[in-house]
Amino acid sequence: MARILIIEDDDRIRTALRLMFEGEEFVVDAAASAEDGIAMFDRQTPAIAIVDLMLPGANGFEACRHIRTTSDIPVIIVSARDDTADVVEGLEAGADDYVKKPFVPRELLARVRAHLRRRPTGRAAFTMGDLRITPEEGTVLRSDGTEIHLTATEFKLLTELAGANGRVLSREHLLEHVWGYDYFGDGRLVDVHMRRLRAKVEPESATPTFILTVRGQGYKLVL
């Protein structure tokens, strides 16, 4: 019984989303503004959040940032704008994925399920510099024992790269295996998340030593 937080200012869409997710056996917290949504999130942490970027008052970007300060849950943003800069800004604010209005309900459901389903299994623990990564537990520990918080998406990206044993993985491969997209996902999802991941695990994110970009092909992890 997963709890889902929906922040959407359009009453009708919010109601429809609530009805749909309730029909799919979710527990739905539906908020009409970023402030209400943040309050709901603080009261009880959901398993996943859907945030409309176009909100009155404090906008969806702030809601994303707030959620990201305390939680690693997947956040899917809903963008009604054509301006692709919005999508990138939303991803930079911490969102894991995005859908554009008008979305196909079944696609949104599929995205939500894909994000909830992910918990990498069967991968052995490995070290990267002074970091100890344990996929079974979903933890990243420094040698001094402090934990680094990776979002679910970031963690899955890291383990996917580690599983390739130094081979180059294309953006399409990563989209398919981390986000569950087929060949035609948005490569920017990968790039933004890769940037955030580097900021967390690389000693010097401007000059990465573990996660390397192979121009025109993709990414690879060098241990």
Using the rule CB under 8 A, which residue among 12, 43, 204, 207 binds another protein? 12
Q: What are phi and psi of 19, to 5 degrees?
A: -60, -45
**Shorter beta-carbon distance to another protein: residue 110 or 222:** 110
Contacts (CB under 8 A) with another protein, residues 41-80:
80
Cross-strand partners of 121? none
Least separation in angstroms between CB 6 and another protein? 11
Is 124 a binding residue for another protein by CB under 8 A? The answer is no
Quick one: CA dihedral 157, 163, 166, 167, positive or negative? negative
Using the rule CB under 8 A, which residue among 84, 127, 143, 209 binds another protein? 84
Residues 201/140, Cβ–Cβ less than 8 Å: yes
DSSP secondary structure, 103-147, as one string:
PPHHHHHHHHHHHHH----SPPPEEETTEEEETTTTEEEETTSPB
* Site size with another protein, rule: CB under 8 A: 25
Is 183 a binding residue for another protein by CB under 8 A? The answer is yes
Residues 179/160, Cβ–Cβ less than 8 Å: no
Q: How far is CA 18 from CA 55, 105, 162, in A?
A: 18, 12, 38
Is 24 a binding residue for another protein by CB under 8 A? The answer is yes
Q: Which two tokens stand for residue 129?
A: 């510099």
**Shorter beta-carbon distance to another protein: residue 19 or 222:** 19
**Shorter beta-carbon distance to another protein: residue 108 or 164:** 108
Of the listed pieces 87-95, 98-106, 110-118, 152-160, which binds another protein according to CB under 8 A?
A: 98-106
Site residues for another protein per CB under 8 A: 10, 12-13, 15-17, 19-20, 23-24, 80, 82, 84, 101-106, 109, 182-184, 187, 216
